[in-house]
Structure 1
Amino acid sequence: MSKLIELLQHFGLSANAAKAYVALLKYNPSTGYEISSQSGIPRSAIYSILNRLETIGIVNSVGESPKKFIPLAPSSLLEHFDHSHKDRLDDLKESIGKIDIDDDAFDFWHLHGYRNLILKMRENINNAKDKIFMSGWPREIKAIQKDLIAAKERGLDITLFSFCSLDKQIGKTISYELDEEKLRKIWTPKVILVVDHSSTIMGSARETDESRSIYTKNEAIIEIAANHIILDITLAGQRLGFDPNPIVKRIMKRPDLDLDRLIKS
């Protein structure tokens, strides 16, 4: 239940409000006294919490002496959050749109912590229109696996590179098949994600709050990130004995360029 309480807090409920709702799911209808006993919330605080939940439509009260409370059904709660957050996002988008903002001032966005790294990668993948290419470790690729599969099903071109063995092949996958645990003893995990040649995320993939990475739409940094992945794939082709050119062409911004001809000329 602690995970459910934590998730409810992400949707704007306080810790005690989340505990009260979860207690009501298990025991309803219940009086304030009963909810206090089941949830561990002090009796002095329980009624203000229940009144707040009733005001925002997450619980309902029946009767008077004593008043009892029933929770919004889980399926209805999901719809409630979906509609309320969509309305807020629409209002926020409209209000922000009225401000004269120079987008160049936000060229770099620093991502603090592992969770924010994963969330930003998922956001970028879900907004992708054409192609995604990435260099990463199995843990990070697994964390965004569902989003990558959904992108593949939308018809996007996906290329993944990893030094480690990957459980699932999504799009074109290149790997040295090294043991992840052994490699972590030598290297610190990092990630590079390029989406549509219009944005990139790169940096540390340590699973801590101190992990640091960046998100940017700066063309020079995007080109550096793309070239880094191209170089990794090219070297892998030489060492593993496959032709990297067809894969590299998938990644290049100008796939019509003939690399072999450029090298020989």
Structure 2
Amino acid sequence: MDTIIQIMKKYDFSEMETLVYTTLLEKGVMTGYEVSKQSGVARSKVYNVLEKLIKKNLVVVNKSEPKLYNAISSDEFLERLEKNVKNDLNTLESQLGKIKEQEEEELLWKLENYESVSNKMEHLIDNAKTSLLIQIWENDLSPNLLKKLQEAEKTVKNFVLILFSNEHHYDIPINNFYIHGFEEEKLQDFGARWVNVVADEKEVIFGTVENDNSSVDVTWTYNKAMVNLAKEYVKHDAYTLKIIKESPEELKEKYGNEFEKIRLIYRED
């Protein structure tokens, strides 16, 4: 019930209105007194709530005494709600589309929490047209996001994904992806897992996410320098991992079984 109440609040139904409507939906025709008793809404308030629901066309009342109340079916309510939401969205799309958006390319925007990071990732993936370059950890591949990636791979010409996994779980239903395989070393470098999504070479989200998703340090921007850096980071990973995949034995002989010597790039090494 708590979930229903919270969702109904989004559509301008109070907790008492939801309790009364669902009670009538479940129990059927009742008097106001019975509604109060079954729903837990105080008798002093239940008639006012019923009147509001009548005006919102969720409850009907008979024309004779005693007054009896009944709820419209959930199917009718949901059909009406869906229609209203679609109409509102169409209106917003039409009206907001007339407002010219100003893109501030130089600013870096901070995403405040993991939910906003997930939402922005989904938006970039859904709207990519020509290219999609991604570095992502298994932890962040929700079923919904994975489904969106599958669809994007079919429609976006230049699609590549670098997959990281602490547990080395690399079995995903994506064709063009590369297994990173050096997660421990990268976690030492970054201090946390990270996300990098570059869409159409013009927009990027990049930053770190704590293991329990409690804290994020992720930036979203159109800044050209940031976009280019993030893009080249993904492409460099893909180039390197492609070479390792195609010539593993030769590279192991030269750089060690775990390719540990490949990271020795400084003079003192």
- TM value normalised by structure 1: 0.70
SS in 1 for 2:149: helix
Residue 112 and residue 234 in structure 1: after superposition, are their counterparts in 2 closer, same or farther (change >3 A)? same
SS in 2 for 1:169: coil
What do residues 64-115 of structure 1 show as CA deviations (whole Å, max 9, x unaligned)? 52331314424x4443333322332333344445556533289544322111
Say yes or no: does 1:188 pair with 2:187: no
The CA deviation at 1:156 is: 5.6
**Separation (CA, whole Å) in 2 of partners of 1:33 and 1:98:** 51
**Separation (CA, whole Å) in 1 of partners of 2:61 and 2:246:** 71
SS in 2 for 1:136: strand
Query: 2:230: which partner in 1?
Result: 225
Query: 2:174: which partner in 1?
Result: 170
**Separation (CA, whole Å) in 1 of partners of 2:28 and 2:170:** 46
Query: 1:236: which partner in 2?
Result: 241
- TM value normalised by structure 2: 0.69
**Separation (CA, whole Å) in 2 of partners of 1:202 and 1:176:** 17
Say yes or no: does 1:130 pair with 2:135: no
The CA deviation at 1:24 is: 4.0
**Separation (CA, whole Å) in 1 of partners of 2:92 and 2:106:** 18
Query: 1:160: which partner in 2?
Result: 161
Give the partner amino acid of 2:151. A
Say yes or no: does 1:63 pair with 2:67: no
Contact 2:209 2:215 in 1 (8 A): no
Contact 1:158 1:170 in 2 (8 A): no
Query: 1:148: which partner in 2?
Result: 149
The CA deviation at 1:119 is: 1.8
**Separation (CA, whole Å) in 1 of partners of 2:214 and 2:56:** 32
SS in 1 for 2:9: helix
**Separation (CA, whole Å) in 2 of partners of 1:66 and 1:106:** 64
**Separation (CA, whole Å) in 2 of partners of 1:23 and 1:16:** 10
Residue 85 and residue 179 in structure 1: after superposition, are their counterparts in 2 closer, same or farther (change >3 A)? same
Query: 2:267: which partner in 1?
Result: none
Residue 130 and residue 105 in structure 1: after superposition, are their counterparts in 2 closer, same or farther (change >3 A)? closer
Residue 233 and residue 83 in structure 1: after superposition, are their counterparts in 2 closer, same or farther (change >3 A)? same
Structure with max Cα Rg: 2
Residue 77 and residue 134 in structure 1: after superposition, are their counterparts in 2 closer, same or farther (change >3 A)? farther
Give the partner amino acid of 2:221. T
Residue 27 and residue 123 in structure 1: after superposition, are their counterparts in 2 closer, same or farther (change >3 A)? farther
SS in 2 for 1:104: coil
SS in 2 for 1:66: coil
Which stretch has the larger CA shift, 158-167 or 113-122? 158-167
Residues matched between the structures, number: 237
**Separation (CA, whole Å) in 1 of partners of 2:10 and 2:177:** 34
Within-5 A mapping of 1:186-265: 187-206=191-210, 208=213, 210-238=215-243, 240-242=244-246
Which stretch has the larger CA shift, 5-14 or 123-132? 5-14
Contact 1:134 1:193 in 2 (8 A): yes
Contact 2:105 2:224 in 1 (8 A): no
The CA deviation at 1:168 is: 1.8
Residue 9 and residue 231 in structure 1: after superposition, are their counterparts in 2 closer, same or farther (change >3 A)? farther
Which stretch has the larger CA shift, 117-126 or 45-54? 45-54
Residue 128 and residue 67 in structure 1: after superposition, are their counterparts in 2 closer, same or farther (change >3 A)? farther
Q: CA RMSD in A?
A: 3.5
Contact 2:138 2:164 in 1 (8 A): no
**Separation (CA, whole Å) in 1 of partners of 2:85 and 2:30:** 28
Structure 1's unaligned 5+ residue stretches are: 244-265
**Separation (CA, whole Å) in 2 of partners of 1:36 and 1:124:** 48
Identity across matched positions, percent: 24
